[in-house]
Structure 1
Amino acid sequence: MLTQRQLSVLSLIIQLYTDTGIPVGSKTLMNAGIKASSATIRNDMMTLEEHGLLQKTHSSSGRVPSMKGYRFYVDHLLKPVTVSPNERVMIRQSFGKEFHAINDIIEQSANILSELTSYTAFSLGPEVKERRLTGFRMVPLNDHQVIAIIVTDKGNVESQVFSIPQSISSEDMEKMIRLINDKLVGQPLVSVYHKLRTEIPMILHKYFQTPSGIMELFDHAFGKAFEDRVFVSGEMNLLDFDVLNNLNEFKSVYSVINNKDSLQSLIGTASHELNVRIGTELGNDLLHNMSLITATYTVTDHGKGTIALLGPANMSYSKIVGLVDAFRLELSTQLDDYYRSLDSF
């Protein structure tokens, strides 16, 4: 059982170390407000070290937090710093440009969050199951390629370029477009996804000589519409974290955050509005010296989205958690306003 003074010592060491990156000694703690002698503070630091919450960088140094220490601090001692009114205005003004699609706002949010923190930011829009297919077009690019344009309600537009197999005639393409407009347009995307795997294949076998080729075109055309696209910003900030030992490690981490499957696994589905995972909790040896803060935001009638920050384990948690919490609320407001503006037309 730690005493209140020992908890204060741990909290202050983490705050000082995350601000300066310099190991903290007893005299620094006395000057910072711990009301005890240097010898008493050293004894408290030894106790915290015995509990695995602090560690030495070398025998004569001050202490630095361990990963266990960061975890304990986040769980029991963290007091997020409240974002000032001026900072809130700055965040709001960063969204000040005109947006033409939901994904533009989601992408911009990742850019803003990365710039505000100098960390690597991720942004994932409202859940795909909330969307509805409202339009579909195919535009020929040449004799062998077309671009499929998928429009979902409230401003989501996805496009996909693909080649047409020689076995598919222009008449087949026209039938396919009619079929999509008759059977799929106006349906929720979750229904579209279901019909593409149940009802549509049966119809294709009835009306097309080469149903497998047409089904492949369907998969190409709608592939992106079902993706929960994650926007990433600030990848190069990884070089400034001082937790990657060489260029090969940087390349490996860079590859992780730019791979759709590994990124979805990393961010996951947040079970709380705001969550902090540290070191080995990230489930990837490459990230053992890093922390990931994820936060959900709610868009009225359109589901939940996620923002996340990847940074060093010695980030200033009180500042960053407070900022992320304020940012997710502002992003909710921005998206709510955008949807209301569409409804007004």
Structure 2
Amino acid sequence: MIMPTKRQALILAEIVRLYNETGQPVGSKTLMNQLPMRISSATIRNEMAALEEAGLLMKNHTSSGRVPSTAGYRYYLDHLLQPSTVSPQTFSTIAQDFNHEYHEINDIVKQSANILSNLTNYTSISLGPESADVTLTGFRLIPLGDDQVIAILATSMGTVESRVYHISQSVSSEDLERAVRIINDHLVGMSMMKVKQQLKNEIPRLLTQYLHSADGFVDLFGDVLRHAATEHFYISGRSNLLNFVQPDDLDRLKSIYQLLDKDSVLPSLLDLDSEDQAETESDSPLGPISVRLGDEFDNSLFSDYGLITAKYNVGQHGSGVIAILGPTSMPYSQLIGLMQLFSDELVKKMFEYYNKFHDDS
């Protein structure tokens, strides 16, 4: 790609700003009144033509106005963008919306998605901090009657998973107590990954050895463990996708809705599986914030979308992700400034939670 001149870059940045604000193609006469320097309309038209030839602008109407191409947005994001300062009012709103009593870390993660969606009117995605050192801290079974028990599993992250199960009438209360004792004696303190490994061999052997009937118990514990160890994605503001979809594009929107409901798809969408992610972050002018556009997605359904992703770190408790999904023409300067501040506030709230959790333990 031919690098634009300083003047062409200024024109490109202004076209991005105006198009994002109005949604209308930008013409030379409009630019004349907006640029910080005096340039004739003819010169602006020539520069716009050069930018179009370089693939950074395009026409989507028969008018003389231009709109940024995906390549134009990419150049703007990589070389021209300056994050905006968040207003005191927005900062106050974030602090107020986070000001709740939280009993689980996932409550904070879920609330972060809600706040971000409400602030931006876009769809937001959040993923809680993950750590290779997360361990099992306890397991309980509480009889509910009618052959039902509630299984409660806790981890060192402060997450608590509870699920109700039916059990066989052949399993006595004494066997349930022995099973819980075996789990806690042999697995508490182990990493969740090691617990999963033990569940495949050692634990079934012990349960069979010490219980009169181990029917279904391994499956029960395995199920609650699987849910506790699953990455919990939270999505807020799905309906905001309707704000910028064309009436003849509803089938595509339906497909996107279905994709967002699949946890297995979200790591790929957020580029969490990329081996080059750490290297990309270190090279990015925006640091832990990245933006994917249009054909940069692996899925053509998102060809007209942009995704702003911010990775945050909570020290020994691991790292997580927050993201905004919207049209390609999002106000990136404003949103990236917001994401930078929002990540900082989210990390503070999580440290408050972990400090309280450890103080109380």
What is the TM-score normalised by the length of structure 2? 0.89
Q: Identify which range, 135-144 or 60-69, moves more after superposition.
A: 135-144
Q: CA deviation at 1:227?
A: 0.7
Distance 1:321 1:245 in 2: 31
What residue number does 2:132 align with? 129
CA offsets per residue over residues 220-257 of structure 1, 9 Å max, x none? Answer: 12121111101111111110123674332221111111
Pair 1:192-2:195 in alignment: yes
Which structure 2 segments of 5+ residues have no match? 282-287
Distance 2:25 2:227 in 1: 48
Q: Identify which range, 7-16 or 136-145, moves more after superposition.
A: 136-145
Say whether the 8 Å CA contact 1:243–1:289 is kept in structure 2.
no
Q: Which amino acid aligns with 1:5?
A: R
CA offsets per residue over residues 60-117 of structure 1, 9 Å max, x none? Answer: 2400111111111111111111223443232112101221211111110000000010
What residue number does 1:25 align with? 27
Q: CA deviation at 1:208?
A: 5.2
Matches within 5 A, 1:1-345: 1-33=3-35, 34-153=37-156, 155-165=158-168, 168-207=171-210, 213-242=216-245, 245-269=248-272, 271=278, 272=281, 273-345=288-360
Q: Identify which range, 118-127 or 203-212, moves more after superposition.
A: 203-212
Distance 1:213 1:156 in 2: 24
* Cα-Cα RMSD: 2.1
User: Identity of aligned pairs, percent?
Assistant: 49
Distance 2:132 2:248 in 1: 41
Distance 1:225 1:206 in 2: 27
What is the TM-score normalised by the length of structure 1? 0.93
Say whether the 8 Å CA contact 1:119–1:311 is kept in structure 2.
yes
Q: CA deviation at 1:137?
A: 1.5
Distance 1:298 1:243 in 2: 38
Number of matched pairs: 345
Which structure 1 segments of 5+ residues have no match? none
Say whether the 8 Å CA contact 1:124–1:231 is kept in structure 2.
yes
Decide whether aligned partners of structure 1 residues 221 and 171 sit closer, same or farther in structure 2, where only a CA change above 3 A counts: farther
Say whether the 8 Å CA contact 2:310–2:323 is kept in structure 1.
yes
Q: Which amino acid aligns with 2:21?
A: D
Say whether the 8 Å CA contact 1:167–1:213 is kept in structure 2.
no
